[in-house]
Chains A and B, each alone.
Chain A
Amino acid sequence: MIIRKRLTAGVCVLLATLAAGLGTALPAAADEPSAAASPKVELVLDVSGSMRTRDMGGESRISAAKQAFNDVLDAVPEEVQLGIRTLGADYPGDDRKVGCKDTKQLYPVGPLDRTEAKTAVATLAPTGWTPIGPALLGAADDLDGGDSTRRIVLITDGEDTCGPLDPCEVARDIAARGIHLVIDTLGLVPDAKIRQQLTCIAEATGGTYTAVQNTDELSGRVKQLVDRAAEPVVTPVATEGAGSCASAPELQAGLYTDRQEIGKHRWYRVNVLPGQELRASVSVAADRAVDNDYGILLRAVTAHGREIVRGAESGTGRTDAISTGLRYPKPEQDDADVSDSDVKPAAEAVCLQLGNSFSAPASVKTTPGMPVELTIDLVDAPDESADVAAFGLGRGWWLLGVMVLTGLIAGLLFGWISRWRVAVWRTN
């Protein structure tokens, strides 16, 4: 029966492929997302006093940045809503309190008027402090609203000395709002403290850090990041796993995000019909400094607590995320059960338990938890395997040898038997 099913499927696929040229057998897989919200990007530029320094190939840092901005503004894809925010642009004084609030939106996030934006950029002059934390908070507010992807590109030449607001913590809090915001950082100075701060910000939000050495690199990288924001991606749905299976949220097929604290379990629940296969994959991002060895465990458990299948992964060393997955094909119900009633077969509630074995130095904050990405798919169950080899068919010279030998022996036996019978018939 399996064979017949597969043969039919094969012929169908073949027909479909021929009919559509090289048409896709998997429908809609290549379709563009319909009416996706336009992605938002905010460029955050440091205009602090130190940007005057002339070390970008003879140019001052600010003029390199301005030139790069002009290039980028010319090349921004149509669908991207772009805004610009500055930090340290206005207050030249020594009062730390005032200086550390000095961030403002230079150009609002929205459809881009290139000339206007360029004029605004041209007016900038290096002035004040470097309040990165407040600037990031401001940028996150600028990008608020809608369901699009968001990106902040931070360009700076100095570390945030404003305190007590650690920009890295700010970035992690912004990421924990669940608004799919990524912060990419570009450092103009190869300095250990700046690098540490900027990599921390990038890591906390799943962004990247780049050390920029000249104007070309700067404009090239910013262009690349803006283009990256324009790439259509599926936006995940936020969910919150529970502490036990009974109270776990019920998930349909789809893409979900959650947060998980170090060493704590999360439970989710999926209803699987007979004849369906559950596919779950999960990744936990290491968005902060964690110890060198780590792992995760994803278990599919029945409502009564019996483990069905598990996926586990452990790792060591530098990583952005650790991931694992599992499959659970639920067999079709027996025909006898189905035929006597028209009742739809009951779905089985499968509980998914996600645990991690990350650990972190005591100085690292554990809340908010680490970002979790969970993919749930429900597809038809596979054709079970009845034999090791395909359809139980044979292969190889041994098979041919055995078959030839068997044929030969059968032929000889048959020949002798018939000769003997003829001989017996003649003598009678």
Chain B
Amino acid sequence: MRTTRRNTLRRGGVGALLAAVTLLTSAGAAVADDPSPSASADGGTAGPTEAGTTFRTATAIQQGQKATAEASTGDYLYWAFPADAGQRPTVRAKVSLPESSTRHGASTWQIDVYDGLRRRQACMYGHQTRKAAPDAGTVELSCVLRTVRAWSEPWASDPLPGSYYVRLTVVGLAEEDLGLPVHVETQADSADQGGAADVDGALAEPVVPGASAVSAKGGSAPAATEPEDGWSSGWWTSRWLWTVGGGVLAALAGVFGYGLTRGNGRPSRVPPGV
């Protein structure tokens, strides 16, 4: 029952516009072959090998991509990924620390996730902050966000479809360890939450910073930008199936109930041939 929204949308679209697909076979193939970002395995495809150092220079990644970067301890590293309505993103990061012989103490690492409006988003669970022992080789961090809603009131800080920034940094360390080289891996995946999370209303544009300035200036959006298969249009929800299914069942039940009052077939007292 829990068909993912985009898959169903795609199937519905292909069915409804069969003629268009036959004309544009390549397009059809591309649409059909494209793996859903949320469907990729844990390993993830190789992503960018650099990270940005501010919101403005954040490196764009897609969900399911494993972004890596060489950095110095103390750097603030930024990535941006798109998340659509109905998804519940999980951000994971792994920091490979420098050799313990060169370090002078424990260090505390943290990931923060911000939405396209640069509002900090809460992690429902996961190891957002973790302390690495002086002899530890790696630290693994994770953050599970709330489900992205298609719409929310402006006074709420619910996650909305759009860009999400990941910031990874060390928040506590021995002063002597600043500037030592580290290797980091980051990946964002998401679980599809299905129709239960489908709310009414929709944003005119996803919350991608610079959305309105981009077309005016002809520049590139600072944090690219959209999921591999585009933003969902917002009209499909599995609630249609539930509601239509409910209607059909109600109709069947109505017919059944009507039949109960009629008995089985022709009344026996009516002679044949009448």
**Contact between A209 and B74, CB atoms less than 8 A apart:** yes
Size class of the contact patch on chain B: 35 or more
Q: Note all chain B residues with C-beta closer than 8 A to A324.
A: 117-120
Say whether B39 faces chain A, with CB atoms less than 8 Å apart.
no
Q: Note all chain B residues with C-beta closer than 8 A to A236.
A: 56
**Contact between B249 and A211, CB atoms less than 8 A apart:** no
Q: Which of B72, B119, B195, B206 contacts A211 (CB 8 A)?
A: B72
How many A residues have CB within 8 A of the partner chain?
A: 113
Measured between alpha carbons, how far is A311 from B225 in the docked complex, in Å? 23
In A195-211, which residues have CB < 8 Å from any B CB?
195, 199, 206, 208-211
Measured between alpha carbons, how far is A318 from B219 in the docked complex, in Å? 33
**Contact between A411 and B253, CB atoms less than 8 A apart:** yes
**Contact between A14 and B250, CB atoms less than 8 A apart:** no
Q: Interface 1/0s, chain A 251-275, versus B by CB < 8 A?
A: 0011100000000000000000000
Say whether B254 faces chain A, with CB atoms less than 8 Å apart.
yes
Q: Show 14 residue pairs from A and B whose CB-CB distance is below 8 angstroms, ordered by the A residue.
A: A6-B235, A7-B235, A10-B235, A13-B231, A21-B27, A26-B206, A28-B214, A211-B178, A255-B210, A318-B170, A327-B207, A377-B210, A404-B253, A410-B257
**Contact between A29 and B204, CB atoms less than 8 A apart:** no
Known A-B contacts A327-B117, A389-B200; the reply to A403 vs B250 at CB < 8 A is yes
Say whether B150 faces chain A, with CB atoms less than 8 Å apart.
yes
Q: Note all chain B residues with C-beta closer than 8 A to A394.
A: 239, 242-243, 246
Measured between alpha carbons, how far is A253 from B215 in the docked complex, in Å? 11
**Contact between A22 and B229, CB atoms less than 8 A apart:** yes
Q: Which of B176, B204, B239, B260 contacts A391 (CB 8 A)?
A: B239
Measured between alpha carbons, how far is A32 from B242 in the docked complex, in Å? 44
**Contact between A403 and B247, CB atoms less than 8 A apart:** yes
Q: Note all chain A residues with C-beta closer than 8 A to B245.
A: 400
A274 → chain B, closest Cβ, in Å? 14
Say whether B35 faces chain A, with CB atoms less than 8 Å apart.
no
- Residue in chain B with minimal CB distance to A149: B57
**Contact between A385 and B230, CB atoms less than 8 A apart:** no
Q: Note all chain B residues with C-beta closer than 8 A to A199.
A: 74, 178-179
Measured between alpha carbons, how far is A10 from B172 in the docked complex, in Å? 48
In A242-299, which residues have CB < 8 Å from any B CB?
253-255, 277, 279-283
Q: Note all chain A residues with C-beta closer than 8 A to B74.
A: 199, 208-209
**Contact between A380 and B205, CB atoms less than 8 A apart:** yes
Say whether A34 faces chain B, with CB atoms less than 8 Å apart.
yes
**Contact between B258 and A412, CB atoms less than 8 A apart:** yes
Q: Which of B17-25, B135-143, B185-193 contacts A (4 or more CB under 8 A)?
A: B17-25
Measured between alpha carbons, how far is A326 from B238 in the docked complex, in Å? 31
**Contact between B261 and A416, CB atoms less than 8 A apart:** yes
**Contact between B118 and A25, CB atoms less than 8 A apart:** no
**Contact between B13 and A14, CB atoms less than 8 A apart:** yes
Q: Which of B13, B55, B179, B213 contacts A377 (CB 8 A)?
A: B213
**Contact between A187 and B213, CB atoms less than 8 A apart:** no
Number of interchain pairs (Cβ within 8 Å): 334
Say whether A395 faces chain B, with CB atoms less than 8 Å apart.
yes
**Contact between A31 and B220, CB atoms less than 8 A apart:** yes
Say whether A30 faces chain B, with CB atoms less than 8 Å apart.
yes
Q: Interface 1/0s, chain A 388-410, versus B by CB < 8 A?
A: 11111111100110011111111
A residues lining the B interface (CB < 8 Å) = 2-3, 6-7, 9-11, 13-15, 17-22, 24-34, 187, 190, 192, 195, 199, 206, 208-213, 217, 220-221, 224, 227-228, 231-234, 236, 253-255, 277, 279-283, 309, 311, 313, 317-318, 320-321, 323-329, 373, 375, 377-396, 399-400, 403-416, 418-419
Say whether B46 faces chain A, with CB atoms less than 8 Å apart.
no
A167 → chain B, closest Cβ, in Å? 17
Q: Which of A3, A13, A388, A408 contacts B199 (CB 8 A)?
A: A388
Q: Note all chain B residues with C-beta closer than 8 A to A213.
A: 102
| Residue with the greatest number of chain B CB neighbours at <10 A, chosen from A187, A255, A408 | A408
In B80-127, which residues have CB < 8 Å from any A CB?
102, 114-120
Measured between alpha carbons, how far is A345 from B198 in the docked complex, in Å? 34
Q: Note all chain B residues with C-beta closer than 8 A to A408.
A: 253-254, 256-257
**Contact between A26 and B27, CB atoms less than 8 A apart:** no
* A22-B230, A407-B251 given; 19 more Cβ-contact pairs under 8 Å: A11-B233, A18-B28, A22-B228, A25-B230, A29-B208, A208-B74, A210-B179, A211-B72, A212-B179, A221-B181, A224-B70, A254-B213, A318-B171, A324-B118, A383-B201, A385-B199, A389-B198, A391-B200, A403-B253
Measured between alpha carbons, how far is A143 from B87 in the docked complex, in Å? 45
**Contact between A393 and B243, CB atoms less than 8 A apart:** yes
- Residue in chain A with minimal CB distance to B59: A231
Known A-B contacts A20-B27, A377-B211, A391-B237; the reply to A283 vs B55 at CB < 8 A is yes
**Contact between B181 and A283, CB atoms less than 8 A apart:** no
**Contact between B196 and A395, CB atoms less than 8 A apart:** yes
B104 → chain A, closest Cβ, in Å? 10
Q: Note all chain B residues with C-beta closer than 8 A to A29.
A: 208, 211, 214, 220-221, 224-226
- Residue in chain A with minimal CB distance to B230: A25
Say whether B271 faces chain A, with CB atoms less than 8 Å apart.
no
9 closest Cβ contacts across the A-B interface? A411-B257, A415-B261, A325-B117, A385-B201, A407-B250, A211-B179, A10-B233, A380-B204, A407-B253
Measured between alpha carbons, how far is A15 from B21 in the docked complex, in Å? 10
Known A-B contacts A206-B54, A377-B209, A411-B258; the reply to A399 vs B30 at CB < 8 A is no
